[in-house]
């Protein structure tokens, strides 16, 4: 099925460990986004890539880095995980033309102990 695929679905890290969350879309969308979801806070934008070759910070970028590997893939890296990064992470994509909202992945549930 066409859509946004996130891996892994679940992950437990120890404080200080690093990991990369993967996101890929097969809809030929130009823009991709990483959000985190925390109870009572909605979704907050971490980083985004408006088009292939560009990335920009969102509302809560500290402790994260991203790579837009190609048009399909947009990865999120935690270099040194902290308990405050325990969250559910969502990747989303959107075509350039029009403003039809996002297509979301199913999320990665990350726990940092």
| Contacts to another protein by CB under 8 A | 4, 31, 33, 35, 40-45, 48, 50, 56, 58, 90, 92, 94, 98-102, 104-107
- DSSP assignment of 51-79 equals STT--EE-S--TTEEEEE-SSSBEEEEES
Shortest distance in whole angstroms from residue 43 CB to another protein = 4
Shortest distance in whole angstroms from residue 74 CB to another protein = 13
CB 34 within 8 A of CB 43: no
The residue (of 14 and 99) whose beta carbon lies closer to another protein is 99
Shortest distance in whole angstroms from residue 78 CB to another protein = 20
The residue (of 38 and 79) whose beta carbon lies closer to another protein is 38
Burial class (CB in 10 A: 0-12, 13-18, 19+), 2: exposed
The residue (of 17 and 52) whose beta carbon lies closer to another protein is 52
Element (H, E) at 89: strand 87-94
């Amino acid at each position: 099925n066409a859509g946004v695929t996130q891996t892994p679905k679940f992950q437990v890290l120890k404080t200080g460990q690093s990991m990369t969350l993967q996101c890929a879309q097969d809809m030929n969308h130009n823009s991709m986004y990483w959000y985190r979801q925390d109870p009572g806070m909605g979704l907050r934008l971490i980083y985004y890539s408006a088009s292939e070759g560009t990335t920009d910070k969102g509302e809560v970028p500290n402790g994260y880095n991203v790579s837009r590997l190609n048009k399909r893939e947009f990865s999120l890296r935690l270099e040194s995980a902290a308990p405050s990064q325990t969250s559910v992470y969502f990747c989303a994509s959107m075509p350039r033309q029009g403003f039809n909202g996002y297509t979301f992945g199913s999320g990665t549930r990350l726990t940092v102990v």
